C-alpha cells in the first residue's frame, strides 16, 4: 500500500517532523513493503516553519528580533523567491518564556512585526503568517508599532491604557507591496466573554482578577485603532486570535496589497506536499498530541480527515491521548482514532518516552490493518 503520514506536532514533546518519522518507522516494522511518504503538518502555531520547510524548496533565514519581553533573540523564518513564511511563535511565542516569566500585561507582539519587516525588506511579496502560540495580550500594539504605526500614551507594560493615540500615516509604505495570508484557526472576537483576554489570558499568566483589566485595556486600544484605520474589526471572527494580533492585522487589511485570515491547516497543507501525497495514497495517517473536544474546531487531524474523506482515502488518527469528543468528531468522517497510551500520562513522562510509544502505536495499527485484510476504506 501507499501510506501518507501527515501528523501535527505532539506539542511539548515532538515536532510534526519527528512524529511523522516515528509513525513511518513503526509502520515499516509491520509492513516493510509499503511505500511510505511523509508530509508533516501544522496549524499555524509553533512548528509551522518546520512542517513547511520539510516539504522542500525553502531556505531558513535568521533575524535578530525581540522576544515577548523585549530581549534580543535569533528567530527564523522561511524564504522561497518572493514568498515567505513567518511564525509568530518564533519571536512572540509563549514557549519563549519560562513559567515564572509569564505575564498577562508586559509581553509584546513587537518581535512578530520585526520578522514581517525583515521578510518584506528581503523582497517577500507573498507572506504566510501563522499567529498561533503567542505569549501576548497586547491587541497587536507591538506589531502595529513595528510596522511603522505611531502609538502615544501609556507603555505596553502599564496595566491601564486610559488615553491611547494611534497614527497610521507613518506605516511603512512597503506593506502595500505584500499579500498577507494569516493562518488563524479560532473565531473569537477581541473583547468579552469569548474574547482574547477571557479565553486565552489564563494560559498566558492572567488571573481571574486580571481579565477585566486586560479586556478594558484592549477596548481602549480598539477604539483608538478603529479611529485611525476607519475599520471596525473588534467583533470580526478571529479578532481575538493571538491576544488581539488578529484584530490589529484586520484593522490594517487595506494597507496590504491583499489580505485574508484563513484556516491554518489549509494554508500549511497548500504549502506542503500533502495534496500530491493524498492523490497517490491508499491510506493516510494523521495525529496530534491530544485528540479531544478541540479537535472538532479545526485542528490538524480534522483538516486531514476532511480531505481524506473528499478523496475517498482511508484515514486513521494517532493521538497521544484520545478523548470521546475528539474520537466522535473524527468518527463522523469515517476516521478511527488510535491512542498512543492506554492510560493518561504526564507531560514529563511523555517527553522522557520520546518517539518509541508513537512508533509502537503505528506498528500496532499496521499489523491490525494486515490482520483485517486491508484498510477500512471509505471510497464511494
Q: Which of 344, 290, 334 has its CA nearest to residue 313?
A: 334
What value does the mean pLDDT of the chain take? 92
What is the full DSSP assignment across 279-317?
Answer: HH-SEEEEEEEEESGGGGGT-HHHHHHHHHHHHT-EEEE
Task: Round to whole Å and give the CA distance between 83 and 339.
Answer: 37
> Has residue 347 got a pLDDT over 70?
no
Q: How confident is the model at residue 192 (pLDDT cuts 50, 70, 90)?
A: very high
Cell of 19: 512524529
- pTM, to two decimals: 0.86
What pLDDT digit, counting tens, does each position of 114-162 carry? 999 999 999 999 999 999 999 999 999 999 999 999 999 887 777 777 7
d(CA 270, CA 218): 33
CATH level 2 (architecture), domain 2-41+273-372:
3-Layer(aba) Sandwich (3.40)
Closest CA to 155 of 105, 85, 116: 105
For 239-259, the pLDDT digits (tens) are: 999 999 999 999 999 999 999
SS3 218: helix
CATH architecture of 48-265: Alpha-Beta Complex (3.90)
Give the pLDDT band of residue 341 (cuts 50, 70, 90). confident
What residue ranges of the chain are covered by domains with CATH 3.90.1510.10? 48-265
Task: Give ranges for CATH 3.40.50.10350 in the chain.
Answer: 2-41+273-372
pLDDT of residue 60: 97
pLDDT(377) > 60: no
Query: pLDDT higher for 192 or 273?
Result: 192
- Using 50, 70 and 90 to split pLDDT, how confident is the model at 84? very high
Model pLDDT for residues 219-235, shown as the tens digit of each residue: 999 999 999 999 999 99
With cut-offs at 50, 70 and 90, classify the pLDDT of residue 373. Answer: confident
Amino acid at each position: 500500500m501507499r501510506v501518507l503520514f501527515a501528523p501535527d506536532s505532539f506539542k511539548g514533546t515532538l515536532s510534526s517532523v519527528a512524529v511523522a518519522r516515528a509513525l513511518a518507522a513503526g509502520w515499516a516494522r509491520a509492513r516493510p513493503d509499503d511505500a511510505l511518504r511523509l508530509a508533516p503538518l501544522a496549524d499555524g502555531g509553533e512548528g509551522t516553519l518546520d512542517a513547511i520547510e520539510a516539504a522542500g524548496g525553502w531556505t531558513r533565514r535568521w533575524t535578530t528580533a525581540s522576544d515577548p519581553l523585549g530581549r534580543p533573540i535569533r528567530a527564523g523564518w522561511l524564504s522561497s523567491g518572493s514568498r515567505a513564511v513567518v511564525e509568530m511563535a518564533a519571536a512572540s511565542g509563549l514557549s519563549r518564556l519560562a513559567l515564572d516569566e509569564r505575564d498577562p500585561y508586559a509581553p509584546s507582539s513587537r518581535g512578530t512585526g520585526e520578522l514581517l519587516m525583515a521578510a518584506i525588506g528581503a523582497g517577500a511579496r507573498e507572506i504566510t503568517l501563522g499567529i498561533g502560540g503567542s505569549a501576548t495580550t497586547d491587541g497587536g500594539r507591538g506589531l502595529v508599532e513595528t510596522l511603522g504605526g505611531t502609538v502615544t500614551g501609556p507603555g505596553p507594560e502599564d496595566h491601564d491604557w486610559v488615553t491611547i493615540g494611534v497614527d497610521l500615516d507613518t506605516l511603512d509604505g512597503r506593506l502595500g507591496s505584500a499579500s498577507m495570508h494569516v493562518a488563524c484557526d479560532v473565531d473569537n472576537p477581541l473583547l468579552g466573554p469569548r474574547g482574547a483576554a477571557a479565553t486565552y489570558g489564563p494560559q498566558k499568566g492572567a488571573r481571574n482578577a486580571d481579565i477585566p483589566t486586560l479586556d478594558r485595556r484592549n477596548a481602549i486600544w480598539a477604539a483608538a485603532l478603529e479611529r485611525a484605520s476607519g475599520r471596525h474589526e473588534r467583533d470580526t471572527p478571529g479578532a481575538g486570535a493571538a491576544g488581539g494580533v488578529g484584530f490589529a492585522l484586520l484593522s490594517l487589511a487595506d494597507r496590504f496589497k491583499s489580505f485574508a485570515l484563513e484556516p491554518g491547516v489549509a494554508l500549511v497543507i497548500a504549502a506542503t506536499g500533502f495534496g500530491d501525497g493524498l492523490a497517490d495514497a491508499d491510506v493516510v495517517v494523521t495525529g496530534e498530541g491530544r485528540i479531544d473536544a478541540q479537535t472538532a474546531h479545526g485542528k490538524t487531524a480534522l483538516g486531514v480527515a476532511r480531505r481524506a474523506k473528499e478523496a475517498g482515502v482511508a484515514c486513521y488518527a494517532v493521538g497521544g491521548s484520545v478523548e470521546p469528543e475528539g474520537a466522535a468528531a473524527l468518527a463522523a468522517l469515517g476516521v478511527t482514532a488510535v491512542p498512543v497510551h492506554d492510560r493518561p500520562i504526564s507531560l514529563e513522562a511523555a517527553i522522557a518516552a520520546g518517539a518509541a510509544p508513537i512508533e509502537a502505536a503505528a506498528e500496532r495499527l499496521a499489523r491490525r490493518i494486515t490482520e483485517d485484510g486491508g484498510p477500512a476504506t471509505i471510497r464511494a
